[in-house]
Chains A and B, each alone.
Chain A
């Protein structure tokens, strides 16, 4: 649809307004606020949608205030193959509608008929959804419109994509498929209630079947076990009967055996009595024999003891004699030993006396040397004490002497000198000292202060030195004075004396050292006081010894002789001691032998007495026994008993042999086994019978539960439910697959279809943003994401300005797509309010581009925003003039003509 002309009369504040629109391109209708720009849109909607007699509040709202006139709208449009002019006066009392169709066939209609005809034309040729979607109304929120609802846009997109468009039928089919899938699945794709219930039921039935099968298996097992028990019990009964017969047979054998054993018992008892009697007779005879033997043995022993005692007594007497003889020998040797040891003691003390003497002499000599050394040290120390000069003092003297020599040399050098060379023998005096020269002899003299030469009688010459010589001279004197002072302080007259004194001092020091060394050597480890004390003791001892000693034997004359005598006495004492010890040992041995024999004799006597007593006792016992029973009687008794035993034994042995031949243990064992076997089998039977009773009771209870039939019923039910579930699963899978394929195909179709729109938006958008601009569309054909310079953002993340620009671009692209089929006008009421100055320029270019293909109507109070729209037709509304003019003229006339290009 293209709008060619729109005329409003008495529309709100507008008395009369007519705007003519070019068939394509951008038309900018500008004017201040409340001038009635939006009223143009409203007038368009009213004339196309509502009848002239409508009482709708939208109509009422357009009536001029304070005037009793009706709003009029006259519209001239091209729509599809139609071109028509359409007029409505919205008056409930005198409504007016007329339609003049110019193309394709001229028609004129009025009233309701005209209204219906126009609606019919619009329904046939105008995509109302798109018409609304492409409009941006003043103050409306920035949105992208419902492009996906646009029939013509979708058709255009299908045509552009080369696909056959899906019709209502397909969309409805898709809904039914979704509904069908929802019979089996939840919206999130999970198995639905029927599937879950059916599966649960199958599982529950399977569980029931398993449970029943288990129960039935157990029942079968019980039955089989009972059958086995019955068979086993039958076998056991047979075994038990056999065992019973066997037990009875074995017990009979046992009873026979026991009878035989009973018969043998008296024989065994008699045999035992006879045996006891024989044993007793034997015992009595044996006792008599033992008694006789004992008497004989003890008599023999007593004799042996007597003989032994006699021999020991003889030995004891011999030992006593030997003991006495040896004791006497030992006593003599002891005396000799005592004498020899006394002599040795005297000789030893003599030798010690001589040693003391020698020691006293040596100590006295060393004592004298020590005293002498002490004297030498005292003297030397006194000399050292007196001597003041030291090696250091000597050095100071030498240093002072050197300083004096240096002063004198300086004086010599600095003083005038006097040279006398004799040409002839010459005698003269110099400084009062007489000297003589032979011809050619020279004498030189330094004039230190004043030299006076006098040749007696001939000449008297005085030479004086200058001032510098006097100073040097003074230095010489100072040096001499200091030297003299040094000598005095060291107590020497000159250097030679100093040297001599020092040598004396050093000699004294050497003397002290030597004397002290000797003193130490003589004292050794003693102090002088100790030495004094020792000498005193020695003197006392030597003097006492000789006074006390006996005159005889005489002392040796020398120490050596004394030593010889001592050694000799020692040797003799050793010999005497050895002999004494040998003889003492022999005497001791003899004593011990004597004692030993004496003890033996005592012991033998005791034994002899004891044995004699025993012998007497036994002899008495034998005599008493024989007096009661003689030996012969005993022998007779034994013989009689033995004979009786022999007879009884033969009878018993015969009976026992017969018993043994029956193998009593075997008979007892077999009887025991037979009893055990029977008892064991009986126990088994009882046990198995008990088991059978329990199983039979269990079977009685379970067997009547109808498990088999219940299992068959449950199995049948499970089978049916499984089949139903399989069918349900198959249907669910088919529905799921069908829905999935439908969704995939629809999505692919959508992607293919949205391609041209997306391309159109990108083409326009790149005018604004450059080559990196791209977008994605969602199912509703709204821009969902924008990519710019590699960054992708959701539409909602974009700034308000960017959202506004993108929404506008999307509308323009959609409008351009459907423009070929006539399309719809794009009406933009006060847009781009959020767009900055730079982008307004590009948006102008985009509008210009869109305007080449479709009719774009811009309503604005801010004409500057659209200053960059190339080739736009601009219409300026001046509302006040219209009001005034209407008021002045009272009639409505066209106010403006075709707009002029900006």
Chain B
């Protein structure tokens, strides 16, 4: 346990926790500092990174506002052990602003292997006094009557249930909070994963009074697994499909009572939206949806577009997306999920009054663009280009 022995006086509580004493703390995880989303360009990626640091500071503010006694981060503080030195420095600076003791658990992204970021010179030299890395598996006494049970990841691929290992030979004594990371058996589809946290065992330990709260990390959305067993989710969203990310859990706990309150922290959103497009109204519908989205600069949109558009409508769509692209952090037209066909009809070119060889070329491309033709997609794009260039002159 780095820091704990050296700075025990600063991180221990002055008063023992007696039976019936209720404590309040923050449960967070999956900060993943140093994460770089693919969809963002360099400038926006920097904003995204900064947002994660800001989230850490907000956690500190929350801890102060809600009189929390400490903060546990249940794994994946860093995106990987090989994060940039600058990320570590900035991360530690943000952590230093947290006014309560903060316990960091190495997770699967930042395991405590020989290359661990927690063992790096920059981390060790700049680690603020309020921060403790839970390097030792097992019990850590925070103060008499209050213990953490740490289950740090020693490597990326542990061959055992680390939480179970950490809880081996536990007997009831005082208030205990387990800090673990990984997938619990009720969510794990792979039954052969040896590192799966066995839920039954946790529940038994809670039932027997050996544990009073299990603070888990790994899932990015706030999830209640069972009574007193929670995933806090990340303080900022990291990907599409996260239903309740961008929060932290404010936990109040004693032997008889446990409440975990999700508190919003994050500012970024990953939105996925499906649209059926066919008529001009549909394009307008998409435009309206995009327009009504708040805080566009911190919103990453992934669109799944389906339907058939004429060249004219496709041109309108392209124009719309191009305009909105400037406003949003990113708009991704998710091709895997999109089934958008573009078909030229006579109406597209009717107004353009092509004649002569230009008209002949249009007719030929129209034939090539028919479904089933080998290069239909390219022909459709050629038609769209023709439509655009012919339209310029009109």
Interface residues of A (CB under 8 A from B): 158, 163-167, 169-170, 172-174, 176-177, 180, 216, 219-220, 222-224, 226-227, 230, 695-696, 699-700, 703-713, 715-717, 719-720, 730-731, 733-735, 737-738, 741-742, 744-746, 748-749
Contacts and interface: CB of A to CB of B under 8 A. Distances in A.
Contacts of B378: 730, 733-734, 737
B358 A170 contact: yes
Interface string B77-117: 00111111111000000000000000000000000011101
Nearest to B36: A712
B171 interface: no
B358 A216 contact: no
Contact of A715 (B38, B357, B384): B38
Contact of B355 (A170, A227, A710, A712): A170
Given A223-B115, A712-B35, A748 B41 contact: no
B385 A706 contact: no
B389 A176 contact: yes
Given A737-B379, A742-B361, A749-B356, A223 B114 contact: yes
A176 B86 CA distance: 49
Contact of B45 (A172, A695, A713, A748): A713
A614 B82 CA distance: 108
Contacts of A735: 382, 385
Contacts of B64: none
Contacts of B36: 709, 712-713, 715-716
Contacts of B354: 169-170, 173
B37 A716 contact: yes
Contacts of A734: 378, 381-382, 384-385
Nearest to A181: B385
A139 B314 CA distance: 60
A733 B381 contact: yes
Given A709-B80, A738-B365, A170 B115 contact: no
A708 B386 contact: no
Contacts of B81: 223, 703, 708
A700 B393 CA distance: 64
A226 B83 contact: no
Contacts of B117: 703
Given A169-B393, A170-B356, A703-B81, A741 B382 contact: yes
Contacts of A741: 361, 364-365, 382
Interface in B175-228: none
A170 B381 contact: no
Nearest to B365: A741
B393 A720 contact: no
15 contacts: A164-B359, A170-B356, A219-B115, A226-B113, A227-B154, A696-B114, A703-B120, A706-B87, A708-B81, A716-B38, A733-B381, A734-B385, A738-B385, A744-B361, A745-B357
Q: Which of B36, B45, B82 is packed against the most chain A CB atoms within 10 Å? A: B82
Contact of B80 (A166, A227, A708): A708
A568 B317 CA distance: 166
A163 B363 CA distance: 14
A699 B390 contact: no
B83 A706 contact: yes
A731 B381 contact: yes
Contacts of B84: 706, 709-710
Given A177-B385, A719-B38, 11 more contacts: A164-B355, A164-B359, A169-B393, A170-B359, A172-B393, A173-B354, A220-B115, A226-B114, A706-B83, A734-B382, A734-B384
Contact of A226 (B34, B45, B115, B382): B115
Nearest to B358: A170
A716 to B, nearest CB: 4
Contacts of A223: 81, 113-115
Contacts of A222: 114-115
A165 B356 CA distance: 5
Nearest to A699: B115
Nearest to B122: A704
B114 A227 contact: yes
A464 to B, nearest CB: 157
B194 to A, nearest CB: 16
B368 to A, nearest CB: 8
Contacts of A748: 357, 360
Contacts of B358: 166, 169-170, 173-174, 742, 745
Interface residues of B, number: 52
B38 A706 contact: no
B124 to A, nearest CB: 11
A326 B34 CA distance: 142
Interface in B328-356: 353-356
B323 interface: no
Contact of B115 (A703, A711, A713): A703
The 10 A-B residue pairs with the shortest CB-CB distance in the complex, in nearest-first order: A166-B356, A708-B82, A706-B84, A708-B80, A734-B381, A226-B114, A745-B360, A170-B358, A223-B115, A745-B357
Contacts of B303: none
A737 B87 CA distance: 48
Contacts of A706: 34, 82-87
Nearest to A706: B84
Interface in B360-379: 360-361, 364-365, 375, 378-379
Nearest to B392: A176
Contacts of B297: none
Interface in B255-303: none
B143 interface: no
Contact of A720 (B41, B121, B361, B392): B41
Contacts of A709: 34, 36, 79-80, 82-84, 87
Nearest to B115: A223
Nearest to A695: B114
Contacts of A746: 357, 361
Contact of B155 (A167, A177, A227, A719): A227
Contacts of B47: none
B76 to A, nearest CB: 13
Given A170-B355, A704-B122, A706-B82, A177 B389 contact: yes
A734 B368 CA distance: 12
B391 to A, nearest CB: 10
A734 B386 CA distance: 9
A698 to B, nearest CB: 10
Contacts of B357: 166, 170, 174, 742, 745-746, 748-749
Contacts of B381: 730-731, 733-734
Given A163-B356, A742-B357, A749-B357, A704 B85 contact: yes
Contacts of A158: 356
A732 to B, nearest CB: 10
A719 B355 CA distance: 42
B356 A164 contact: yes
Contacts of B389: 173, 176-177, 180
B309 to A, nearest CB: 16
Contacts of A738: 361, 365, 382-383, 385-386
B40 interface: yes
Nearest to A692: B114
A720 B45 CA distance: 12
Contacts of A704: 85, 120-122
Interface in B130-150: none
Contact of B382 (A220, A717, A737): A737
Nearest to A713: B36
A180 B155 CA distance: 55
Given A741-B361, A748-B360, A708 B34 contact: yes
Given A180-B389, A709-B79, A734-B381, A227 B34 contact: no
A733 B384 CA distance: 12
A883 B114 CA distance: 118
A733 B392 CA distance: 20
A745 B35 contact: no
A733 B389 CA distance: 16
Interface in B17-43: 34-42
